[in-house]
Amino acid sequence: MLRIRRDLVDAMVEHARRDHPDEACGVLAGPVGSERPERFIEMTNAERSPNFYRFDSMEDIRLERELDSRDEQRVVIYHSHTATEAYPSRTDVNIAGYPEAHYVLISTRDPDVHELRSYRIIDGEVTEEPVEVVESYMFSHTGADDVPDLP
């Protein structure tokens, strides 16, 4: 299950709409081990293509250093499909190299209604997971240190 704050969903969808018809891509970073996406990081699609995406390799290593220094990891890796459904293609599955990440797919094939779905891609297997959009992580029992849970 992916529990995700609404502003992060809005940011990913806005990015996908803006780059349409090219595929958009990026990351939601969160504290290591927390499973909690906190920070939206748009990445350049070095392919700039309606059919393919790839993180720019130098942006990627800079992202990695930034995540290291902040004790964060790639909780979500997102990209958009601009003419097909929000389901990982065989290519998406073959290349997926972060078994610990939640792969979010957004489809912008319909100009008015987007699709957003999330998957785990581990050892070539795709498992869809439910997405719960929350207004905030407060009271969501996410274990954030600075947020008390309801009694």
Partner 1 sequence: MAVNVSVPTILRTHTGGEKSVEASGSTVAEVIEDLESRHSGIKGRLVKDGSLHRFINVYVNDEDVRFAGGLAAAVQDGDNVTILPAVAGGRESHPVR
Binding site residues, partner 1, CB under 8 A: 23, 25, 43, 47, 49, 51-55, 57-58, 60-62, 64-65, 77, 79, 81, 83-85, 87-93, 95-100
Q: How far is the CB of 141 from partner 1 (least distance, A)?
A: 26
Q: How far is the CB of 80 from partner 1 (least distance, A)?
A: 11
If the CB atoms of residues 90 and 150 are measured against partner 1, the closer one turns out to be: 90
Contact 104, 118 (CB under 8 A): yes
Amino acid found at 112: D
Q: How far is the CB of 21 from partner 1 (least distance, A)?
A: 12
Residue carrying structure tokens 């990627």: 60
If the CB atoms of residues 44 and 142 are measured against partner 1, the closer one turns out to be: 44
If the CB atoms of residues 19 and 23 are measured against partner 1, the closer one turns out to be: 23
The whole-angstrom distance between residue 7's C-alpha and the CA centroid of its chain comes to 13
If the CB atoms of residues 13 and 43 are measured against partner 1, the closer one turns out to be: 43
Angle (CA) 9-15-18 rounded to 5° is 140
CA distance 115 to 109: 9
Nearest one of 52, 75, 72 to 64, comparing CA atoms: 72
Q: How far is the CB of 62 from partner 1 (least distance, A)?
A: 8
3-state DSSP call for residue 94? helix
CA distances from 130 to 7, 75, 102 (A): 18, 15, 11
If the CB atoms of residues 8 and 86 are measured against partner 1, the closer one turns out to be: 86
Q: How far is the CB of 31 from partner 1 (least distance, A)?
A: 16
